[in-house]
Every structure is written in C-alpha cells, then in structure tokens.
Amino acid sequence: MRSNEAQRDERAQMLLATGMVLLLSLMSMAIFSIKVAGMSMPHEPASDGALVTTAQVTDALPALVHARAEVWMDEGGLSAEDAVVLALDSVTRDLLHHGEVRGVEAKLMNAVVTVDDDASNVVHVEASLGVSDTDVRIEVPVAFDVTFA
C-alpha cells in the first residue's frame, strides 16, 4: 500500500508542475501581447517635446535666417531677397533632418518673402511652422523681418 500512496503523490506533484508551467506560459504570452500592442508605454500627458521645439525654432529662426542670408550675399553676390529665400530653404532642410534625430518633426511651410517698399535692405518673411511628434501636431504662424546693413 505504501508504494501506491507514493505513486499518487508523484502524480499530484507532476500535475501541479504542469499547471504551473501552463500558467507561466500564458502569463508570458499575455505580457508579450500587451507590449506588441503598444500598451506597455503609458500616454504621457506632460510630454512637451513639440511645445519646446516650437519655442526653440521660433526664437532661433530670425537670427539663423539672417546669418545664412548674409553668407549667401557675401559669397554669392545675391540680392537680399534671393539670399533670404535660399537661407529659408536650407533652414527647412536642416529642421527636417534635425527632427528625424529628435523624434519631433519641424517644417516651415508656405513661406512668403517680400522686400520692403520703403527700405530695400529689409526683407519680410511670413511662413507657417508645423511641429509634430507622436502625440500632437502644432501649426504656428511665423513672421519676422531680416534687416541688412
């Protein structure tokens, strides 16, 4: 009779072990499924990447366009208007490449460049700045003057 009781104990332990393995594998699959669905990363309402990028770009844009336009005028002998157009194009390309690295896309759209009628050394720029990340998309109007000496 003793051997029969030992055999029942072994069967019960094997059944328990099989149940534990099954439970762990089901839990593992559930965790994997949640990660695949993207639910492992909670929504971050305090994420301010797009807002910070918008502020940084709008602050730096006039000085950056002015500096690049001066280089184009000095090196290429271009007019102020043409130099500002080329400067805006290069800034737009740099913003796109920089955004790929940071994960926040920034793009200048619908840029209009006009020379002031009263002063030919003042170029007026109007554009839309679009900034987006995984959570938000912002479009801000940008306008500034580039004045050459």
**pLDDT > 70: what percent of the chain?**
81
At 132, phi and psi to the nearest 5?
A: -145, 150
SS3 category, 86: helix
pLDDT at 140 > cutoff 50: yes
Token pair belonging to 1: 């009779």
pLDDT tens for each residue of 30-65: 777 766 655 545 445 556 778 888 898 999 999 999
* Alpha-carbon gap, residue 89 to 107, rounded angstroms: 10
pLDDT at 26 > cutoff 90: no
- Residue ranges of E strands in the chain: 105-115, 122-132, 137-147
pTM of the complete model beyond 0.75: no
Position with higher pLDDT, 4 vs 131 = 131
Token pair belonging to 54: 């918008």
Question: Tell me, what's the pLDDT at 59?
Answer: 92
pLDDT tens for each residue of 90-103: 999 888 887 766 67
